[in-house]
């Protein structure tokens, strides 16, 4: 019973995808390096180390071994028939990145970069995190591989993802709350970049998504290509055909590019990224960078971003810390422009409804980030009807979000403990 089969995590690294940027990291007009000169040497070193590792059987073998024995890959594909009943009868298949060790897709990239850090002889790792999932994965890899770990996290996010702050500290990482700007992911990246400029000799910046300067967008993508490669085989094996739609949430875009990539050359497959619509696009309080933004340079790459008339970055908003980011990876910008992928907003309310729906129908509590993709799939299923097959990337699990959800659904009243809360709140659809 081969549930995903011949695919090895290193396949996405060792084999070119056929959709590569130019040698300076440009995806069309996007990507590149909009960075201080001080970082160029480190980026060149990283690009060279990655290029060498891609052809090194020892590196590739170690990556595969860790992903098998430590991460728990391959991740399963789960049929979600009861969710499908709420989605126009469409067949919904869930790619279970939530079942990876540390609870999200982030570990795919983190183990790859942590192994590279060792090979570059660096002893200190810094990372940014929004939801805390990338921070937790990084702290985990650093514990495993004996690296010093410092994680920057916006103060708004340390509050809404407090559980993950504790997890990182348990794993031995130093978590630094960032109090500048909007105090979310964007500002955590600024602080990480400032640290990197200062300590670049000793330090690797383990960036957590497919954004940033070259080689990050292509390298991080390659470490995540395993998601789509496994899923494509699993879906074919399970259903005998390709899915009609592949759905993923988009923050910086790593889980989405990871699952999309294996299907780019399948023209019948629609690739749809779901961005955080926050309170609704019309309110201006959202993080729908591709749907609502415009081209510009932020955090080292040219891509879409949310900005005002003067090129000042706008503050994004989402209930989901991991999607609350006014930028996005450059390859998504290209996929949007050439029409190969579509990007649609999903509001906080839609995402939370899907969060509850997947929990109740299938017994799977998704991360609020991933709930955006689930909501998108439900919306599409209703449009496309019972003949449609929709593959959804469940990028992470929702344990970290239980507090936010309990408040949203009014399951815990002020001064009350979880035990005496009224469990019917969700069934009533009630937000107290």
Partner 1 sequence: MTVSDVFTRCAAQGRGALVGYLPAGFPTVDGSVDLISAMVDGGCDLVEVGIPYSDPVMDGPTIQAAAETALRAGVRLRDVFTVVERVAAAGGSAVVMTYYNPVLRYGVDAFARDLAAAGGLGVITPDLIPDEADEWLAASTAHGLDRIFLVAPSSTEERIASTVAACTGFVYATSIMGVTGARDSVADVAPEIVARTRPHTRLPIGVGLGVRSGEQAAQVASFADAVIVGSAFVSAATDRGTDGVHDLAAELADGVRRAGVPAPA
Ligand X SMILES: Cc1ncc(COP(=O)(O)O)c(C=O)c1O
Q: Provide, rounded to whole angstroms, the least separation between the CB of residue 116 and partner 1.
A: 19
Q: Which of 23, 57, 201, 282 binds partner 1 (CB under 8 A)?
A: 201
According to the binding rule CB under 8 A, does residue 423 interact with partner 1? no
**Residue span 170-209 as binding mask against ligand X, x where in contact by CB under 6 A, dash where not:** ---------------------------------------x
Q: Who's near 58: CB < 8 A, 6+ residues apart?
A: none
Tokens of 377: 């799939």
Q: Which of 24, 52, 65, 431 binds partner 1 (CB under 8 A)?
A: 24
Which one of partner 1, ligand X, none interacts with residue 318, CB within 5 to 8 A by kind? none
Annotation marks residue 362 as catalytic: no
DSSP 367-424: -HHHHHHHHHHHHHHHHH-TT-EEEEEE-BBSGGGHHHHHHHTT-S-TT--GGGS-TT
Q: Cα(151)–Cα(164) distance, rounded to whole angstroms?
A: 11
Which one of partner 1, ligand X, none interacts with residue 200, CB within 5 to 8 A by kind? partner 1
Specify whether the CB–CB gap between 224 and 109 falls below 8 A.
yes
Q: Is 112 helix (H, G, I), strand (E, B) or coil?
A: helix
Q: Provide, rounded to whole angstroms, the least separation between the CB of residue 130 and partner 1.
A: 16
Q: Which of 2, 6, 312, 429 binds partner 1 (CB under 8 A)?
A: 312
Which one of ligand X, partner 1, none interacts with residue 303, CB within 5 to 8 A by kind? none
Q: Cα(117)–Cα(50) distance, rounded to whole angstroms?
A: 10
Q: Is 282 helix (H, G, I), strand (E, B) or coil?
A: helix
Which one of partner 1, ligand X, none interacts with residue 369, CB within 5 to 8 A by kind? ligand X
According to the binding rule CB under 6 A, does residue 255 interact with ligand X? yes
According to the binding rule CB under 8 A, does residue 193 interact with partner 1? yes
Annotation marks residue 268 as catalytic: no
**Angle in degrees, CA 207, 208, 213, rounded to 5:** 45
According to the binding rule CB under 6 A, does residue 230 interact with ligand X? no
Catalytic choice (97, 191, 395, 400): 395
Q: Are strands 26-27 and 30-34 parallel, antiparallel or unpaired?
A: antiparallel
Q: Which span (115-123, 248-256, 278-286, 352-360) binds ligand X, by CB under 6 A?
A: 248-256
Q: Which of 220, 267, 276 is nearest to 248 (CA)?
A: 276
According to the binding rule CB under 6 A, does residue 104 interact with ligand X? yes
Q: Which residue has the tokens 């995806």?
A: 27
**Residue span 309-348 as binding mask against ligand X, x where in contact by CB under 6 A, dash where not:** -------------xx-------------------------
According to the binding rule CB under 6 A, does residue 299 interact with ligand X? no
Q: Provide, rounded to whole angstroms, the least separation between the CB of residue 421 and ligand X.
A: 25
Q: Provide, rounded to whole angstroms, the least separation between the CB of residue 333 and partner 1.
A: 14
Which one of partner 1, ligand X, none interacts with residue 202, CB within 5 to 8 A by kind? none
Q: Is 3 helix (H, G, I), strand (E, B) or coil?
A: coil
Q: How many CB atoms lie within 10 A of CB 194?
A: 12
- CA separation, residue 188 to residues 78, 233, 386, 387 (Å): 34, 37, 43, 44
**Residue span 120-149 as binding mask against ligand X, x where in contact by CB under 6 A, dash where not:** ----------xx-xx---------------
Tokens of 115: 């192994």
**Residue span 39-58 as binding mask against partner 1, x where in contact by CB under 8 A, dash where not:** xxxx-x--------------
Phi, psi torsion values for 384, nearest 5 degrees: -90, -25
Which one of partner 1, ligand X, none interacts with residue 70, CB within 5 to 8 A by kind? none
According to the binding rule CB under 6 A, does residue 164 interact with ligand X? no
- CA separation, residue 199 to residues 44, 140, 266, 387 (Å): 16, 22, 44, 55
Q: Which of 326, 322, 262 is nearest to 299 (CA)?
A: 326
Q: Cα(131)–Cα(141) distance, rounded to whole angstroms?
A: 17
Q: Provide, rounded to whole angstroms, the least separation between the CB of residue 161 and ligand X.
A: 9
Rounded to the nearest angstrom, the gap between the alpha carbon of residue 11 and the centroid of all alpha carbons in its chain is 20
Q: Which of 289, 303, 313, 318 binds partner 1 (CB under 8 A)?
A: 313
Specify whether the CB–CB gap between 287 and 348 falls below 8 A.
no
Annotation marks residue 395 as catalytic: yes
For residues 231-241, one letter each, b for 16 or more C-beta atoms within 10 angstroms of the residue's C-beta and e for the rest, the string is: bbbbbeeeeee
Which one of ligand X, partner 1, none interacts with residue 109, CB within 5 to 8 A by kind? none
Catalytic choice (95, 106, 186, 400): 106
Catalytic choice (128, 292, 350, 369): 128
Q: Which residues are catalytic?
A: 106, 128, 395
Residue numbers at the binding site for ligand X (CB under 6 A): 104, 130-131, 133-134, 209, 249-256, 322-323, 367, 369-370, 395-396
Residue numbers at the binding site for partner 1 (CB under 8 A): 24, 32-42, 44, 180-181, 186, 190, 193-194, 197-201, 295-300, 307, 309-313
């Amino acid at each position: 019973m081969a549930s995903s089969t011949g695919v090895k995590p290193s396949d996405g690294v060792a084999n070119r995808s056929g959709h590569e940027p130019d040698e300076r990291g440009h995806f069309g007009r996007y990507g590149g390096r909009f960075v201080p000169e001080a970082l160029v040497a480190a980026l060149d070193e990283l690009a060279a180390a990655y290029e060498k590792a891609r052809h090194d059987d020892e590196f590739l073998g170690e990556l595969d071994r860790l992903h098998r024995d430590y991460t728990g890959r391959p991740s399963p594909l789960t049929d979600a028939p009861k969710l499908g009943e709420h989605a126009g009868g469409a067949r919904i298949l869930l790619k279970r990145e939530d079942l990876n060790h540390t609870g999200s897709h982030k570990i795919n990239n983190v183990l790859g970069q942590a192994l590279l850090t060792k090979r570059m002889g660096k002893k200190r790792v810094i990372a940014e995190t929004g939801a805390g999932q990338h921070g937790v994965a990084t702290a985990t890899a650093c514990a495993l591989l004996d690296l010093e770990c410092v994680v920057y996290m916006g103060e708004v996010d340390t509050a809404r993802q407090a559980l993950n702050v504790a997890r990182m500290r348990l794993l031995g990482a130093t978590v630094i709350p960032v109090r500048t700007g909007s105090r979310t992911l964007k500002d955590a990246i600024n602080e990480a970049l400032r640290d990197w400029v200062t300590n670049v000799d000793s330090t690797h910046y383990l960036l957590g998504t497919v954004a940033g300067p070259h080689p990050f967008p292509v390298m991080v993508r390659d470490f995540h290509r395993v998601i789509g490669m496994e899923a494509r085989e699993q879906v074919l094996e399970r259903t005998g055909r390709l899915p009609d739609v592949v759905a993923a949430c988009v923050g910086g875009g790593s889980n989405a590019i990871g699952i999309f990539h294996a299907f780019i050359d399948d023209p019948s497959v629609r690739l749809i990224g779901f961005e955080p619509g926050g309170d609704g696009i019309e309110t201006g309080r959202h993080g729908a960078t591709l749907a609502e933004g415009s081209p510009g340079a932020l955090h080292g790459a040219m891509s879409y971003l949310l900005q005002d008339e003067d090129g000042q970055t706008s503050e994004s908003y989402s209930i989901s810390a991991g999607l609350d980011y006014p930028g996005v990876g450059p390859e998504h910008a290209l996929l949007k422009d050439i029409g190969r992928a579509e990007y649609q907003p999903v509001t906080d309310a839609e995402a939370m409804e899907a969060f509850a729906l997947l929990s109740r129908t299938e017994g799977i509590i998704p991360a609020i980030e991933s709930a955006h993709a689930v909501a998108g799939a439900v919306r599409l299923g209703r449009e496309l009807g019972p003949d449609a097959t929709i593959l959804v990337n469940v990028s992470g699990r929702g344990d970290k979000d239980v507090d936010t959800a309990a408040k949203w659904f009014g399951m815990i009243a002020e001064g009350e403990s979880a035990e005496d809360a009224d469990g019917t709140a969700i069934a009533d659809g009630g937000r107290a």
